Amino acid sequence: MTDSARAPAPDDAPVDWHQQEVLLIREVGRLLGRSVEPNFVIRQTLRLLSEWVGLNRGRVLLWDSGEESLRIRHWYGLTADEASRGVFARGEGVSGGVLRTGIARVVQDIDAEPDFLCRSVERARLPKETVSFIAVPLREGDRVCGVLAAHRLRHRRRGISDDLELLQTVGTLLGQVIRVNEELRRRTERLETENRDLRERLGQQLPNFGILGDSPALRDSIAQARRLATGDLTVLLLGESGTGKELFARAIHQASPRAGRPFVKVNCAAVPESLFESEFFGHERGAFTGAVTAQPGRFEQADGGTLFLDEVGELPLAMQAKLLRVLQDRVVVRVGSRHELPLDVRVVAATNRNLAAAVARGAFRLDLYYRLSVLPLQLPALRDRPQDVPVLVRHYAHEACLAWSRAPVQFSEPAMKLMQAHPWPGNVRQLQSVAMRLVLMTHGALIDAASVAAQLQAEPDVSADPAPETDSRIVPSVASLPSAVAAPAGAELVRPYAPVVAGDAERVRDALVRAGGNRSRAAQMLGMTRRQFTYRLEKLGPGGG
């Protein structure tokens, strides 16, 4: 990136700067007409400022109220590393000062200005000539929400006051983009909160806690959930992804004596191992860098109520040991403390893994398995209750019509039959996605079979799940676990294991060819998991696949 304007003539040639400004503002207006997405509009605007009028290394810094810092969020002409260094406290440096005062700042010579910190771009990477810096406030209504800033060479034929005026004009336009997106974010958050609260209220008022369907398999699962809700023992919800495990966890909570107490959900797969103790057990002030205040963990937040441990099968072994201790002792110790806090928490866990198979492989602790699976509840896959598909389709289609403010739509009878006949490997979550997409892409009031067929055909092959124990429909007998742990190779928990032999080569390669190179399908043909099939390919050597 050079430090002179690229268009349409160099600085040493006569340039009609007023015309340049008019063209630039007109082009920014066109960008706003095409999109109000900030990443696109702001970056393209910074590019125009650099290439048309020589305002280089442009950046937009926005105030982060959560971190209480001013950060570079959008830039042009900076590297990602340079942008990441652009963090300032309120009042710090030139940019922080503009944020605090709301007054534009022009630095004629950055080398002579103590407030210019060279934090993002080292001075050695800038031109040797005298470099100026201009920063103007960005406003969201009456509030200063950020700063628009750029470098320029001081000695140019274009007056620095002209650049200041141009940046202020552009800053007003970008401030509108930021304001619109901030308002959209606030409204979205409000609607999501209202929707979540409404779902919870409806779940308490509607039959079956808002779980849609009337098939025998679903009715049986709901009846079991009601029975399990009466006690305080740990419940383990088993089922494929998308079968509604969180809905059932909430149903158990709402049907229990703890219904008026907190229901706290934790996605175990989303908690980094380094933050596990702090997230689950809480921490004291000063326990680690950044712990400026004491915080209760998820167990404390759920005290008196229910803690839902989603995707518990994804926990690494080190985390499993820590979780087991809390489940056994019913006390937690915050990070940075020695004081034990007693707990009154009912735990409901869920997984789409076959935990017994994971125990057999040594990937899940046997003692934790026993602790979690006191009361197992198997949830039916959607393909096992096709009679529930129409009510689900109509429900999600209605939700989509409300969300997009469009007239109601209906599915033709052939279209609904296609929806019922589909195997739905992603279960209710996949059906919801397809139903809402059909509503969005259909212009009329009727969704026909051709539209449904096209959407279902376009659905990706989601059977290619790398996890070897995803067939959670098989719940092995607990009695088989000790021998499985002692001799995992012989444990027939999901599929029988057979060692790799030379005769496998032709069979494996033939299956791979017949599956068109799709390892998941080839594994299904041979009655293996995808991981078992891949293991055989690797053992057979380069010629295996």
Q: What is the CATH number of the domain that holds 302?
A: 3.40.50.300
Helices (H), 349-448: 355-361, 366-372, 389-403, 413-421, 427-441
> What's the pLDDT at 3?
53
Predicted pLDDT of residue 541: 60
**Residue 452 near residue 411 (C-beta atoms within 8 A):** yes
Give residue 463's pLDDT: 53
Element (H, E) at 25: helix 17-34
Same domain, 372 and 229: yes
Structural domains of the chain, count: 4
Shared-domain flag, residues 307 and 239: yes
Are residue 390 and residue 512 in the same domain, yes or no?
no
**Would residue 320 count as lying in a domain?**
yes
Query: How far apart are the C-alpha atoms of 463 and 460, rounded to whole Å?
Result: 9
Sign of CA dihedral 351, 355, 361, 364: positive
Same domain as 414, residue 364: no
Residue ranges of the chain with pLDDT lower than 70? 1-14, 193-194, 196-207, 461-504, 527, 539-545
* Residues 339 and 405 placed together within one structural domain of the fold: no
pTM: 0.51
Beta carbons of 438 and 452 less than 8 angstroms apart: yes
Q: Which of 184, 204, 237 is the last residue of a domain?
A: 184
For residues 45 and 171, state if they share a domain.
Answer: yes
- Asked if residue 305 and residue 269 are part of one domain, the reply reads yes
303 lies in the same domain as 388: no
Residue 193: inside a domain, yes or no?
A: no
Domain that residue 531 falls in: 503-540
Could you give the CA distance from residue 484 to residue 493 in angstroms, rounded to a whole number? 8
What are 131's two structure tokens? 């470099």
Last residue of a domain, one of 160, 184, 208: 184
Answer yes or no: do 265 and 245 share one domain.
yes
Q: Flag whether 7 is in a domain.
A: no
Q: Residue 485 falls within a domain, yes or no? A: no
8 Å CB contact between 279 and 261: no
Is residue 509 included in any domain, yes or no? yes
Task: Please tell me whether residues 428 and 351 are part of one structural domain.
Answer: no
CA distance 195 to 347: 25
Q: Are residues 133 and 221 in the same domain?
A: no
Report how far residue 260's alpha carbon sits from residue 255's, in angstroms, rounded to the nearest whole number.
Answer: 10
CB-CB contact of 256 with 230 (8 Å)? yes
- Residues with Cβ < 8 Å from 282, sequence gap 6 or more? 294, 295, 296, 297, 299, 300, 332, 334, 335
Q: Are 228 and 221 in contact (CB under 8 A)?
A: no
Q: Taking CA 456 as the corner, what is the angle to CA 455 and CA 462, rounded to the nearest 5 degrees? A: 120
pLDDT at 140: 83
What number of other Cβ atoms are within 10 A of residue 294's Cβ?
Answer: 15
Write the single-letter amino acid at 312.
Answer: V
Q: How confident is the prediction for the chain on average, in pLDDT?
A: 83
Q: What is the DSSP code (8-state) at residue 380? A: P
d(C-alpha 167, C-alpha 151), whole Å: 11
